[in-house]
Amino acid sequence: MVLSLLSSVEGWAQCGSVGDPIVNITFGTRLNPDFGGGTTTYHRNEQGELNDGEYKLGSNGNQGRESWHNLRDHTHPNEEGMMLLVNASYDTGEFYRIRVSGLCQDTRFRFSAWIANVNNIAECDSNALSPNVRFVIEDLNGNAVSLPYVTGNIPPSATPQWQPYGFEFDTGNQTEFYLVLINENPGGCGNDLAIDDIQFRPCGPEITLDAALTRGTDTIFFCEESASPIAITSAMEASEAYATAPAFQWQTRYEGQTEWQDIPGETGASLTIRPVHYQWYRVTAAASKANLDNRLCRVVSDSLVVIRDTVHLAPMEDLVISPGQQISLHPQTNGTQFHWHPAVGLSNATVRNPVAYPTETTTYQLMVSNTQGCYNVALVTVRVLPELILPNTFTPNGDGINDTWVIAGLDEYPSASVQVFNRWGALVFSSEGYQAPWDGQSNGAQLPTGTYYYIISSKLLTRPLTGSVTMLK
């Protein structure tokens, strides 16, 4: 005897977790239509508008009849996916029938489909018959082995609407069945529908996964600089069917793969992994070891993906300041927590953009981390230029002592400019980059003793330096 459990969509909470679809009929695409290996008692009409008792595969509801809804395919609405369009017969008929074999005994399954009324509200003078679909599970002799599930009348709507319908049942001691969708209402004006995504899949108690480093609902992260093992644990809701000896099998796949692979030997309720970027994990379960061996009978948890978490920190260019100046540090990073070392000469050692004002050349180390503990490190040197020493006299007399006006430290200032003027404002000496100190000459001729006036500028000076220097003999 088969115990039948009937439920509408609202009742699907009984199936907290489901397995991969054993049957998944999407009817293909416009370029590759596919009836999915099923049969129907309706007559195929791919050329004209559908009459009572006819069907076709279409990518839009109005391909059945022009007056029907502009209804896109449920599976691939933007890729011209196909659906089953039906103008129901006056007599009860089968919209779709398919055989399913190789199931497990005493296992719960869900039989479901998406259905839409393709009639507009104004169809049939606003009095169109509503579709009503019966879901039936039969044995191979055509005997119903469960009470049928009936959608009830699916009323027309102002806009096209797909609705999910289905129910759950236990296989009892049988392993092969027919899944059947039947027209429950008589034909006439109306009773026109679209069917898509017919599925049959195992279901069972909800299985949840958890890991200490889970972010959101489906991601485990690990730091790029760390590859410590990560534990994933599963928890299963209490269930009478799974109470005695539930069996587990962990599975994995890589990004881009569609097929899940069993992980050999991992049959416990928890799994310890070494993290690999973009690798996925899930656990499958069945009420017994025998049922677990048949993949058609497993339910699966949601999956978790392992992602390498990286704190980006771009290399920082060294900076130059003159004595007494300050400069803001601007690291390019996605980190959220900051630690600068040493803290000497910084406005704040724990912010992204501190102001630096060291009194001597200092190399700072920045460690950037995020809330998950991942980090990165970079260095930046703030070079403090020397104080400029500006002598107020020099004696270009050729004795080798103090013969030139030497400005100590100026050669370290980028783009330094020196201009010297006589007392009448005439330029007597200029140097870009301070290649050589002034020797008291102008255009190769020795200038007379006296007081001369200078202007020294550089992009690192907040303002030009001005003053006078006396040339003596």
**Band of residue 264 on the pLDDT scale cut at 50, 70, 90:** very high
Cα–Cα dist 380/118, whole Å: 68
Q: What's the Cα-to-Cα distance from 39 to each of 99, 110, 146, 190, rounded to whole Å? A: 10, 20, 21, 23
Q: What percent of the chain has pLDDT over 70?
A: 95
Residue 213 vs residue 201, higher pLDDT: 201
Of residues 76 and 279, more confidence is placed in: 279
The position carrying tokens 């002592």 is 401
pLDDT of residue 215: 58
Percent of the chain residues past pLDDT 90, beyond the cut: 66
How far apart (Å, rounded) are the C-alpha atoms in residues 26 and 74? 9
CA 376 to chain CA centroid, Å, is 23
Asked if pLDDT for residue 2 goes beyond 60, the answer is no
- Residue 126 has φ and ψ, to the nearest 5°, of 65, 25
Whole-number Å distance between alpha carbons of 248 and 350: 48
What is residue 200's predicted lDDT score, i.e. its pLDDT? 93
3-class secondary structure, 123: helix
| pLDDT of 414 over the 90 cut | no
- How confident is the model over 106-137, as pLDDT tens digits? 888 999 999 999 999 988 888 899 999 999 99
Burial 92-101 (b: 16+ CB within 10 A, else e): ebbbbbbebe
Report pLDDT digits (tens) over 30-60: 999 999 999 999 999 998 999 999 999 999 9
**Residue 99 pLDDT exceeds 90:** yes
Taking residue 147's Cβ as centre, other Cβ atoms within 10 Å add up to 14
Q: Which residue has the higher pLDDT, 337 or 414?
A: 337
Burial class (CB in 10 A: 0-12, 13-18, 19+), 8: middle
Spatial CA neighbour of 18 closest among 282, 203, 200, 283: 203
Backbone phi and psi for residue 258, each to the nearest 5 degrees, phi listed first: -110, -25
Among residues 359, 293, 291, the alpha carbon closest in space to that of 324 is found at 359
Number of Cβ within 10 Å of residue 216's Cβ equals 7
- What are the distances in angstroms from CA 465 to CA 169, 390, 413, 458, 468? 93, 10, 13, 9, 10
Which residues share a beta bridge with 375? 369
Q: Is 290 helix (H, G, I), strand (E, B) or coil?
A: helix
Q: Note the pLDDT of residue 3.
A: 30
Please give the mean pLDDT across all residues of the chain. Answer: 90
Q: Which residues contact 451 (CB under 8 A, 6 or more apart)?
A: 423, 468, 469, 470, 471
The residue written with tokens 């998406």 in the block is: 114
Residues forming beta bridges with residue 204, ordered by sequence position: 17
CB 68 within 8 Å of CB 118: yes
Strand bridging mode 393-394 / 465-471 = parallel
pLDDT value of residue 283? 96
Banded model confidence at residue 10, pLDDT cuts 50, 70, 90: very low
| Residue 33, both tokens | 């239509």
**pLDDT band, very low/low/confident/very high, at 11 (cuts 50, 70, 90):** very low
Tens digits of per-residue pLDDT, 55-82? 999 999 999 999 999 999 998 877 789 9
297-328 residue pLDDT tens: 899 999 999 988 889 999 999 999 999 999 99
Mean pLDDT score, 145-149:
85
Dihedral of the alpha carbons of 78, 80, 84, 86, in degrees to the nearest 10: 90
Read off the pTM: 0.67
Lowest mean pLDDT among 244-248, 257-261, 376-380, 453-457: 244-248
List phi, psi (to 5°) of 354. -70, 160
pLDDT reading at 360 higher than 80: yes
